[in-house]
Structure 1
Amino acid sequence: MTPEISLHLAGARMGLFDANGGEFSSDIAPPFWAFVWAGGQALARYVLDNPETVRGRRVLDVATGSGVAAIAAALAGAATVDAIDLDPAAAEAVTRNAAANNVTVRARAADIAEIEGGVDVVLAGDVFYTRSVADRMTTALRRLGPEALVLVGDPGRGYFPGRLFTRKAEYKVPVPAALEDTETLVTGVWEMLSPNNKLYAAHI
């Protein structure tokens, strides 16, 4: 989706848990950062195609993973780009990937719940994949929403609170079959409704 961006990624045939012998381990965080997920790809494409969305603004990419959306924002002319992820290894991956694209992204391990504001645009790709994560993310994004433009990339994971968003774009995103059991996912880019919007208020 974004040939303008170079990323250090796992091989196309590698699955999320292959490094753990093919099984989930609660002791080792899965390397989400080693893959470029559909939501992040769609966000990156949207930002590159609509640079005015981030140009000259302070951007925060949450649950950044490989950093593809953050890097797109930097390439599109954002004033500053911060990227956060719970996994310290993701922050290290983002730093490597940003360097590969000759852009500056300030990456660190952090929880979105720790962010107090001070950003103009929030990007979040593929963050509604379980009920508990979706609930926490929705609360955090709604808290930041009054002061920032919130854009989400979601490929229909099942827990996306669509009633609080309006769709801005839709893409057919290529994905690794080893991860998704398919080669493409239809993925939307969504803007969180303003708290002043009647549709938003109706669902609080």
Structure 2
Amino acid sequence: MSTDFVRANTRLAPVPFLPELVLYQAEEPIELWERTEAAGTEQPPPFWAFAWAGGQALARHVLDEPELVSGRAVLDLATGSGLVAVAAARAGARTVTANDIDPLSLAAAEANADANGVPIRLVEGDLLTSGYPEADVILAGDVFYSREMAGRVLPFLRRAAGRGALVLVGDPGRAYLPVDGMIRRATYEVPVLEALESVPVRRTSVWQVDFASR
């Protein structure tokens, strides 16, 4: 599957909380879930087709404070749609790497980067074990959605902070976010798709992972 599948099953539109950016977004989440399942066996859910609250908040923070990424090598971990990667590139990052285990996610990230006229690199695969020391900044939007994911991603983020990387997390209060050992940098009221979140707005924070946290 490719960017053709992404474009055929979504609509290019401004992002609710970031009107200066456009994103290929699904209007009917359940319908797209079914299309994705029909298109291939054991496909992950189409997280790439939506502007999730954590990603919107993190992208907004980066655009409003471009000095966080300007001139630096950035990794967008579990990139989903690539929204945060696009924002980092727009904010002047030297390089931006979008990573995900889902090939369709990377296809979406590529399509969204093209739509916004910014360059990004794509890396497919699980980096949580191997690490990614090339990054000066690691951005992670909405990654604490399950106990299993939280248990794997938190050590990765702490190791990166420990070697001196700036590590920022966007999260709308998911159950498995470990706020102990994190520094809250900003909080936003982020519009979301009610069909996914059951509410029209999510209060969402951007956290910095403290290198000394354990």
* TM-score, L = length of structure 2: 0.86
Correspondence 1:177-196 to 2 at 5 A: 177-195=194-212
Report if the CA contact (8 A) 1:74-1:103 is conserved.
Answer: yes
Q: 2:57 aligned with 1:42, yes or no? A: yes
Q: CA deviation at 1:148?
A: 0.5
Correspondence 1:62-101 to 2 at 5 A: 62-101=77-116
* 1:48-86 C-alpha deviation (Å, 9 max, x unpaired): 000000000000000100011110000000000001011
Matched residue SS, 2:133: coil
Judging by fraction of residues, say which structure has more strand. Answer: 2
User: Residue in 2 aligned with 1:167?
Assistant: 184
* 1:129-163 C-alpha deviation (Å, 9 max, x unpaired): 11110010001111111220000000011100101
User: Residue in 2 aligned with 1:54?
Assistant: 69
* Counterpart amino acid of residue 61 in structure 1: D
Q: Give the fraction of aligned pairs with identical amino acids, expressed as a percent.
A: 49
Correspondence 1:101-140 to 2 at 5 A: 101-113=116-128, 114-140=130-156
- Distance (whole Å) between structure 2 residues aligned to residue 176 and residue 127 of structure 1: 18
- Distance (whole Å) between structure 2 residues aligned to residue 162 and residue 129 of structure 1: 14
Report if the CA contact (8 A) 1:88-1:108 is conserved.
Answer: no
* Ranges in structure 1 where 5+ consecutive residues have no aligned partner: none
Report if the CA contact (8 A) 1:95-1:105 is conserved.
Answer: yes
Q: CA deviation at 1:111?
A: 1.3
Q: CA deviation at 1:99?
A: 0.3
* Ranges in structure 2 where 5+ consecutive residues have no aligned partner: 1-16
- Distance (whole Å) between structure 2 residues aligned to residue 145 and residue 16 of structure 1: 39
Correspondence 1:18-33 to 2 at 5 A: 18-19=33-34, 27-33=42-48
Report if the CA contact (8 A) 1:131-1:159 is conserved.
Answer: yes
- Distance (whole Å) between structure 1 residues aligned to residue 136 and residue 198 of structure 2: 36
* 1:95-121 C-alpha deviation (Å, 9 max, x unpaired): 000000000011221212233311110
* Counterpart amino acid of residue 191 in structure 2: P
Q: Number of residue pairs matched? A: 194
Q: CA deviation at 1:18?
A: 3.9
Q: CA RMSD in A?
A: 1.8
User: Residue in 1 aligned with 2:175?
Assistant: 158
